[in-house]
């Protein structure tokens, strides 16, 4: 029996990998994303899916998307609150307040809006799984990336709290904490950090590997496989867990 899977920021990167993984199992997938071009490409490549443009920081846009989805599906089995942004890089005294707010809003407020809807729908049906995308930056201090680290630590707190709040209703809540995931997003992060620290991009790339026991980066598929496991029979008793998919990060310090 196919499941109904919702993924925010699902048109590319980790979200797209999660979508692909569930589609391989014959599940129904709906995604939203703030990037119209990525949504159009997703819809063309994967006909039969639901793909709409929606900014997770906009209550109006999310309410419209989610209410429309609810009327089409009449329930949901897995919700992946995956949307996030890297935010600015730099010493705290150099950061712009508006950039700080945008980082917090996308990572944390977007998760709130997604989980608020998921909780109501899943309580009514008596079951469900919510996964939130945090980061290894939600487990360690992360110099020169204070907005991102703050938001991702908050995701861990939200996960633990919702697991307690929703568990009695048959709803499981877990967070995945990817390490440095290969792809265009991390390419942009590396360039940003290199500029903020006055170092070369190669030095920044090596710093990520140096702090990981397996000395490797992560692939989006690795994260997708972990989310798929949480939704499987094997993960049926896992809730309130913070699952690092990172090759064991030892430190994020330079």
Cα–Cα distances (Å) from 81 to 8, 129, 206, in that order, read: 6, 11, 30
Catalytic residue among 142, 148, 160, 219: 148
Six-digit token string for 65:
């998307």
**CB distance 79 to 28 below 8 Å:** no
Active site residue 152: yes
Q: Can you tell me the distance from the alpha carbon of 91 to that of 42, in angstroms, rounded to the nearest whole number?
A: 37
Catalytic residue among 152, 160, 215, 219: 152
What single string gives the DSSP state of each residue in 174-242?
EEEEE-SB-SHHHHHHHHHHHHHHT--HHHHHHHHHHTBTT---B-HHHHHHHHHHHTSGGGTT--S-E
The catalytic site residues sit at: 148, 152
């Amino acid at each position: 029996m196919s499941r109904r899977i919702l993924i925010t920021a699902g048109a590319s990167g980790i979200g797209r990998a999660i979508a692909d993984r569930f589609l391989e199992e014959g599940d129904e997938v709906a995604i939203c994303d703030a990037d119209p071009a990525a949504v159009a490409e997703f819809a063309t490549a994967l006909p039969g899916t639901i793909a709409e443009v929606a900014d997770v920081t906009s209550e109006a846009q999310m309410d419209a998307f989610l209410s429309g989805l609810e009327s089409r599906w009449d329930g949901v089995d897995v919700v992946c609150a995956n949307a996030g942004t890297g935010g600015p890089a730099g010493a705290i005294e150099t950061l712009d307040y508006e950039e700080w707010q945008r980082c917090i809003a996308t990572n944390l407020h977007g998760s709130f809006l997604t989980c608020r809807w998921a909780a109501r729908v899943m309580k009514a049906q008596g079951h469900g799984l919510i996964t939130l995308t945090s980061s290894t930056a939600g487990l360690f201090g992360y110099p020169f990336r204070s907005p991102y680290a703050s938001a991702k630590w908050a995701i861990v707190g939200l996960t633990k709290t919702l697991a307690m709040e929703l568990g009695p209703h048959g709803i499981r809540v877990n967070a995945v904490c990817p390490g440095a995931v290969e792809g265009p997003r991390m390419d942009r992060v590396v360039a940003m950090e290199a500029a903020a620290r006055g170092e070369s991009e190669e030095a920044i790339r090596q710093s990520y590997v140096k702090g990981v026991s397996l000395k490797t980066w992560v692939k989006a598929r690795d994260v997708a496989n972990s989310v798929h496991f949480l939704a499987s029979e094997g993960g049926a008793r896992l809730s309130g867990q913070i699952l690092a998919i990172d090759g064991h990060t030892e430190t994020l310090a330079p």
